[in-house]
Structure 1
């Protein structure tokens, strides 16, 4: 899945801040050539400097993933500059923290256009180039909310459910065509990113990720790892595993639990500022980076991710240990 050069070519949407910025840094440490796609040029230029300081190359691509034509143009720019795209990461998102009955149709449409259709547009642009070459990988940045919805984020949950649905459909088609192109979805827990300072909100208090919270580097490293392995789906963090498997077992009980706790768990005790910026319709200026304001409460490591990435080695070690123990017991019985 490598380009003809020693550098892999990667495109990351939503790359100017938050998780996308952390993903860019993680790929840069491998020396990748990276197309950085987002709306805010100032932060993209800062991300480009970071990428190049870490050993990668970067191309700034200003645009909105809701614009399919601009996504296609960006893909063409990357291939003119760096060569064939090896990995495409659909990460761009937006949301609205609001009860559904206070949402407008326009807000719902905009979240869907960015979070769901943005991934569709990116996948179209990527597969257009990867399928004829019979190589490449598309990574969908998902969420535990792609399976287990929570209150106050109906548009975002719907978009992530949609992302999972169309990804599963494409995967079946790739199998039918015996294609070497791979598509995977990385399901994430609550992340410490700036989105909670700029996502549109009608909540009385400041929004927060539902604890426990993870640093974006945990997910970024898992995404880079996924780009080297042909896994169908990867769960990041034990809360993701619990939410998604718990939803398969007892959806009704989770509905009840989240109905009672889901409002409070998504808000801090601090009242929201009336002049708070929102990035739903246009980019919010400011020097936002990968991290949000929850560093003191965020985990920088996930044992679950480590176990998932090393499961075959661990399995072999356990099997070897069991065989050794059985042989030892057998030798003792023969004495």
Structure 2
């Protein structure tokens, strides 16, 4: 059993911006104690201020998720300050927008270490503390790209696919152990986060999320719901996620050809962008004395906080019951009609 929500202890990685920042705010709004892990000190300071302003307690811990020793120390600091960790949310990532042939081996390694192994190290640190109590929840923030790779994001897609396989295997082990610890994954659509302002890009035009675009607050609500209902193996956010995963399951070869035609142009736009803006692959773009990017990116005029599909994903049992009742009612009506004849 987790502690009461007013005293819930939560660790959020990648908490300085984007979905991580929005998730930290959402937990803070219900009084949680939130440990914020990220590299960017300016972003962490902003996130801590957000948490305190919304009624939570904040602990900012500068952490490079690619370093398992730093992750372990951060987890120890969180429990020393707040007590046992109830929920651990893995969000932190980095990426390179470029064709595969234009990404160096060192860059590929860095993306993988942060975006995949960072989840592994975070999960290790969480489990080491949750196992003695046989309680706790781990939420892996994933993507539709955990199932469906797209061009120009080979390193990111590879990491998300790896997280998917890792989390499924871990979940099986926990079920085998009859563990009280739960792990679940939230598959996200394109979200308006600062990644498109600070990612390392070698594209001819500025990078953009593939529409439709959703705001990080919607993603954060999905993470909170998953943390509260971790019995489900995963949740899908956004109609585009549903459509992508269904299309990939039904006609993956056709989707390959479609993305080959559209995937390059769909991930670039013509907005103005400083070509010398800081990138966060090797150093945080929101480091000490730098800019606090907050949760949202540059696409608020094209994004939404609504997703009927998210509600459906969270209430599939109710929808199945309603559909079943409808089928029964329809069958009964058909039988009555036949008897009248």
Where on the TM-score scale, by shorter chain, does this alignment land: which range? Answer: over 0.9
Q: In structure 1, the residue corresponding to 2:275 is in which secondary structure?
A: coil
Mean alpha-carbon deviation: is it higher for 39-48 or for 177-186? 39-48
Identify the residue that residue 127 of structure 2 maps to in structure 1: 127
Q: Deviations over 1:88-147 (max 9, x none)?
A: 000000000001011100000000010000000000000111112111111111001111
Q: In structure 2, the residue corresponding to 1:269 is in which secondary structure?
A: coil
Cα contact 1:3–1:85 (8 A) shared by 2 = no
Report the CA distance between 1:53 and its aligned residue. 1.6
Cα contact 2:66–2:114 (8 A) shared by 1 = yes
Identify the residue that residue 146 of structure 1 maps to in structure 2: 146
* Runs (5+) with no aligned partner, structure 2: none
Q: What CA distance in whole angstroms lies between the structure 2 residues aligned with 1:173 and 1:19?
A: 28
Report the CA distance between 1:319 and its aligned residue. 4.8
Q: What CA distance in whole angstroms lies between the structure 2 residues aligned with 1:7 and 1:317?
A: 36
User: How many residue pairs were aligned?
Assistant: 334
Mean alpha-carbon deviation: is it higher for 257-266 or for 318-327? 318-327
Mean alpha-carbon deviation: is it higher for 179-188 or for 312-321? 312-321
Coordinate RMSD, CA, aligned: 1.9
Q: Deviations over 1:182-241 (max 9, x none)?
A: 111100000000110000000110100011100011110000000111110110011111
Cα contact 2:192–2:298 (8 A) shared by 1 = yes
Report the CA distance between 1:13 and its aligned residue. 0.3
* Runs (5+) with no aligned partner, structure 1: none
Q: In structure 2, the residue corresponding to 1:161 is in which secondary structure?
A: helix
Change over 3 Å in CA distance of 1:328–1:83 after alignment to 2: same
Mean alpha-carbon deviation: is it higher for 39-48 or for 173-182? 39-48
Q: In structure 2, the residue corresponding to 1:267 is in which secondary structure?
A: coil
Q: Deviations over 1:3-34 (max 9, x none)?
A: 27841111000001111110001111121111
Cα contact 1:140–1:186 (8 A) shared by 2 = yes
Cα contact 1:204–1:272 (8 A) shared by 2 = no
Change over 3 Å in CA distance of 1:261–1:331 after alignment to 2: closer
Identify the residue that residue 234 of structure 1 maps to in structure 2: 235
Q: What CA distance in whole angstroms lies between the structure 1 residues aligned with 2:252 and 2:273?
A: 32
Q: In structure 1, the residue corresponding to 2:232 is in which secondary structure?
A: coil
Mean alpha-carbon deviation: is it higher for 203-212 or for 245-254? 245-254
Q: Deviations over 1:271-290 (max 9, x none)?
A: 65431321100011212111
Identify the residue that residue 71 of structure 1 maps to in structure 2: 71
- TM-score w.r.t. length of structure 2: 0.93
Cα contact 1:205–1:271 (8 A) shared by 2 = no
Identify the residue that residue 261 of structure 1 maps to in structure 2: 262
Aligned pairs (5 A) from 1:153-232: 153-229=153-229, 230-232=231-233
Q: What CA distance in whole angstroms lies between the structure 2 residues aligned with 1:277 and 1:10?
A: 30
- TM-score w.r.t. length of structure 1: 0.94
Q: Deviations over 1:265-320 (max 9, x none)?
A: 00002465431321100011212111101001001110000112123334444555
Q: What CA distance in whole angstroms lies between the structure 1 residues aligned with 2:181 and 2:80?
A: 21
Identify the residue that residue 99 of structure 2 maps to in structure 1: 99
Identify the residue that residue 278 of structure 2 maps to in structure 1: 277
